[in-house]
């Protein structure tokens, strides 16, 4: 089987952690089929009066590069940020069409998988229309939770989903959203993300804290992710204040960066808990396992999620998860591996953290709870969906 995998969420040499979960999947899929990766990115001049690090990095990504043995093609397309949002897929499609046609002559693809419904899947649907290739569209989270409900995008996404040969999503919650949109249930397959067990496994807590130079005698709560509105970190900071008032002297480490960093720091200061909230900034993915090993609890208070890998990684390290009841999280976290709460409910989160601190958790049992969530298992599921899609198109 010759597979063409298309997504803008894939690592580059300038941003090696971008879409790292897609790289993990692609590596495992190579055991089942020949994988070619297309990572379309916006074109932005390398020399510009407009200083925007993110967009200027795109211009420095080569049109072809290799990462962990996988050949990646990165066609560029013109995009004006924000202004072009509703025609983003059409602009991407023009660039993809030329690149896909050229690569198809070389590799004779049997099936195309696009990851991220907008703009990627919509663009792919347009780009491969004349090639009549089976198309498996994959929804990952916000592309369904948010993009599907935005004016100007809804119709484009629904038209693409109806035309696709098959659909995969990372949680039953996302599948139900699509079923509510009148898409047939038998067209949608739930395939959760996987966990890299070589990196995320049981580690000795004190050794990890020693490596990171953290205190040994205080409960540590860890958040890993983007500092943005949908992650609802304000809820965690407010809940932390309640914990401290109830004489639980915890330390919260926030790993990641984003547009709310200054605002969140000001919130912590105004609540007089700035010494308990530590902003670590972006941390290399290779260090995440050590951080999870060092923590007592992972907290993910998001308003919306798909299948967050950090949840699987924390559980793999044997650490209990306190998270909002959204996306695939209720499918993964059990009463023996964590506590779920209502999104944006400060009091409920504070009580959940307090309960977690007073619970005797079994790290071994927590780690065993995610043994079935391997990337190898996920790749097998994807392969079966691809194989079925090829049969339907024959």
Average of pLDDT values for 179-200? 95
Are 153 and 254 part of one and the same domain? no
The pLDDT score that the predictor gives to residue 125 is 98
Closest CA relative to residue 179, chosen from 188, 170, 171:
188
Domain assignment of residue 100, yes or no: yes
Q: Give the 3-state DSSP-derived string for 314-381, with helices as H, strands as E and coil as C.
A: HHHCCCCEEEECCCCHHHHCCCCCEEEECCCCHHHHHHHHHHHHCCCCCHHHHHHCCCCCEHHHHHHH
CB under 8 Å to 370, separation ≥6 — which residues?
195, 312, 315, 316, 332
Q: What is the pLDDT of residues 140-153, one digit of tens each?
A: 999 999 999 999 99
Q: Give the span between the Cα atoms of 357 and 250, in whole angstroms.
A: 10
Residue 200 resides in a domain: no
Whether 102 is covered by a domain: the verdict is yes
pLDDT band at 91 (very low <50, low <70, confident <90, very high): very high
pLDDT digits (tens, 9 = 90+) for 166-182: 999 999 999 999 999 99
The count of domains in the chain is 2
What's the pLDDT at 197?
A: 87
Q: Which are the contacts of 215, defined by CB distance < 8 A and separation ≥ 6?
A: 209, 251
User: Does 122 share its domain with 101?
Assistant: yes
215 and 272 part of one domain = yes
Contact assessment for residue 363 and residue 202, using Cβ atoms and an 8 Å cutoff:
yes
Task: Give the mean pLDDT of the chain.
Answer: 94
Are both 21 and 118 inside the same structural domain? yes
- Residues 161, 214 within the same domain: no
- Of 235 and 52, the structure prediction assigns the larger pLDDT to 235
Is residue 378 assigned to a domain? yes
On whether residue 235 sits in a domain, the answer given is yes
Task: Note whether 47 and 141 are same-domain residues.
Answer: yes
Supply the pLDDT for residue 60.
82
Burial of 364 per CB tally in 10 Å (0-12, 13-18, 19+):
exposed
Q: Are residues 172 and 152 in contact, defined by beta-carbon separation less than 8 angstroms?
A: no
Split at pLDDT 50, 70, 90, the class of 336 is very high
Greatest extent of the chain over all pairs of C-alpha atoms, in Å: 67
* 269 and 187 share one domain: no
The answer, as to whether pTM is greater than 0.85, is: yes
pLDDT-derived band at 53 (thresholds 50, 70, 90) equals low
Buried (b) or exposed (e) across 328-362, using 16+ Cβ within 10 A?
bbeebbeeebbbbbebebbebbbbbbbebeeeebe
Is position 199 within any domain?
no
**What is the Cα–Cα distance from 113 to 126, expressed in whole angstroms?**
14
We report the CATH number of the domain holding residue 242 as: 3.40.50.2000
Answer yes or no: do 18 and 160 share one domain.
Answer: yes
State the pLDDT at residue 329.
Answer: 96
Domain around 313 = 205-368
Taking the C-alpha atoms of residue 35 and residue 4, their distance in angstroms, rounded to an integer, is: 6
- Same domain assignment for residues 220 and 125: no
pLDDT at 188: 98
Distances (CA, A) of 290 to 111, 177, 210, 314, 323: 38, 36, 10, 10, 20
> In this model, does residue 49 exceed pLDDT 80?
no
Pairing of strands 166-169, 76-78: unpaired
Looking at residue 370, its pLDDT comes to 95
Same domain, 237 and 332: yes
Query: Helices marked H in the chain — which ranges?
Result: 20-29, 53-60, 88-107, 122-127, 142-145, 154-163, 172-180, 205-212, 233-245, 261-270, 288-294, 309-316, 329-332, 346-357, 363-368, 375-393
The answer as to whether 8 is a domain residue is yes
Q: Per-residue confidence at 318, pLDDT binned at 50, 70, 90?
A: very high
Question: For the chain, percent helix, then strand, then coil, each to nearest 5?
Answer: 45, 20, 35
User: 136 and 237 share a domain?
Assistant: no
Among the residues of 10-78, which ranges form H helices?
Answer: 20-29, 53-60
Q: Is residue 111 a part of any domain in this protein? A: yes
- The Cα 356–Cα 340 span in angstroms is 11
Tell whether 170 and 217 lie within a shared domain.
no
């Amino acid at each position: 089987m010759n597979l063409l995998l298309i997504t803008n969420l894939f690592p580059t040499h300038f941003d090696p952690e971008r879409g790292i979960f897609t790289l993990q999947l692609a590596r495992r899929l190579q055991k089942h089929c020949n994988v070619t990766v297309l990572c379309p990115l916006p074109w932005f001049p390398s020399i510009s009066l407009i200083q925007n690090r993110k967009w200027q990095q795109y211009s420095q990504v080569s049109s072809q590069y290799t990462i962990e043995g996988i050949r990646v093609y990165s066609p560029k397309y013109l995009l004006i940020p924000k202004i072009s949002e509703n025609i983003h897929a059409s602009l991407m499609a023009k660039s993809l069409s030329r690149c896909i046609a050229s690569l198809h002559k070389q590799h004779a693809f049997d099936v195309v998988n696009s990851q991220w419904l907008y703009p990627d899947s919509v663009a792919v649907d347009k780009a491969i229309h004349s090639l009549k290739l089976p198309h498996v569209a994959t929804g990952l989270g916000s592309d369904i939770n948010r993009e599907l409900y935005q004016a100007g995008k809804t119709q484009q996404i629904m038209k693409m989903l109806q035309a696709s040969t098959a659909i995969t999503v990372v949680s039953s919650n996302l599948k139900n959203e699509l079923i509510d949109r009148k898409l047939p249930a038998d067209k949608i397959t739930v395939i959760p993300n996987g966990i890299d067990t070589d990196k995320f496994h049981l580690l000795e807590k004190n050794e990890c804290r020693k490596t990171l130079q953290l205190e040994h005698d205080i409960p540590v709560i860890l958040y890993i992710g983007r500092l943005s509105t949908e992650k609802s970190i304000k809820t965690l900071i407010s809940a932390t204040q309640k914990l401290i008032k109830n004489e639980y002297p915890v330390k919260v480490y926030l790993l990641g960066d984003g547009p709310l960093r200054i605002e969140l720091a000001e919130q912590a200061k105004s609540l007089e808990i700035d010494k308990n909230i530590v902003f670590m900034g972006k941390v290399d993915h290779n260090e995440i396992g050590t951080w999870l090993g060092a923590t007592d609890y992972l907290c993910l208070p998001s308003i919306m999620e798909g299948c967050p890998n950090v949840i699987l990684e924390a559980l793999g390290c044997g650490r209990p998860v306190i998270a909002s009841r959204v996306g695939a999280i209720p499918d993964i976290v059990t009463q023996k591996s964590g506590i779920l709460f209502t999104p944006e409910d400060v009091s409920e989160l504070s009580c959940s953290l307090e309960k977690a601190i007073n619970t005797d958790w079994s790290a071994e049992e927590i780690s065993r709870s995610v043994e079935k969530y391997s990337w190898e298992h996920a790749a097998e599921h994807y392969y079966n969906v691809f194989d079925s899609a090829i049969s339907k198109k024959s």
